[in-house]
Chains A and B, each alone.
Chain A
Amino acid sequence: MKKEEVPQDESSLSKANIKEIVYAVDKDGKYGKALSSGWEAKTIALNKSLELIEEQLQETIHKIKQGELSPIAYYMELQRMDVVVLSGYVGFWQWKVKRHLKAKTFKKLSKKTLKKYAETFEVSLEELKNPKI
Chain B
Amino acid sequence: MKINFEHNQSAHCENGVVSNLLNYNGLKVSEPMVFGIASGVFFIYIPFIKVNFAPAFSFRPVPGFIFSRVSKRLGFKIKRYKYKSTEKAQQALDAELAKNNPVGLQVGVYNLTYFPDEYRFHFNAHNLVVYGKVGDDYLISDPVMPEVTTLSSKELEKVRFAKGPFAPNGHIYYPTQLPSNIDLKKAITKGIKQAYRHMLAPVPVVGYRGIRYVAKQIRKWPDKIGVKKTNHYLGQLVRMQEEIGTGGGGFRFIFAAFLQEASVIMENPRLAELSKEMTVIGDQWRDFAIDASRLYKNRSRETDAYNKIADKLDAIALAERAFFLDLKKAIK
B172 within 8 A of A: no
B234: min CB distance to chain A, Å: 8
Chain A residues with Cβ under 8 A from B242's Cβ? 39, 41-42, 45
Total A-B residue pairs with C-beta atoms closer than 8 Å? 113
Please tell me which stretch of B116-124, B126-134, B203-211 contacts chain A, meaning at least 4 of its Cβ atoms lie within 8 angstroms of it: B116-124
Which residues 117-166 in B have Cβ within 8 Å of A in the complex? 117-122, 144-146, 163-165
Contact A89 B163 (CB under 8 A): yes
User: Is A84's CB under 8 angstroms from B296's CB?
Assistant: no
- Is the pair A80, B121 in contact by a Cβ cutoff of 8 Å? yes
**Are A41 and B290 also in contact (CB < 8 A) when A31-B257, A84-B164 are?**
yes
Asked if B32 is an interface residue, CB under 8 A from chain A, the answer is yes
Given that A80-B110, A88-B167 are contacting pairs, would A41 and B231 also be in contact in the complex, using a CB cutoff of 8 Å? no
A48-B296 contact given A41-B290, A85-B122, CB 8 Å threshold: yes
Contact flags B285-313 to A (C-beta < 8 A → 1, else 0):
01001101100110000000000000000
Closest Cβ neighbor of A44 among chain B residues:
B293
Q: What 1/0 mask marks residues of chain A from 42 to 71 whose CB sits below 8 Å from any chain B CB?
A: 101110111011000000000000000000
A16 touching B231 by the CB < 8 A rule?
no
Residues of the B chain whose Cβ atoms lie less than 8 Å from the Cβ of A18: 116, 145-146
Confirm or deny: A119 has a beta carbon within 8 angstroms of a beta carbon on chain B: no
- Check B277 for interface membership: any CB of A closer than 8 A: no
Within 8 Å by CB of A41, from B119, B144, B238, B253, lies: B238
A interface vs B, CB < 8 Å?
Answer: 1, 12-13, 15-16, 18-25, 29-33, 39-42, 44-46, 48-50, 52-53, 79-82, 84-85, 88-89
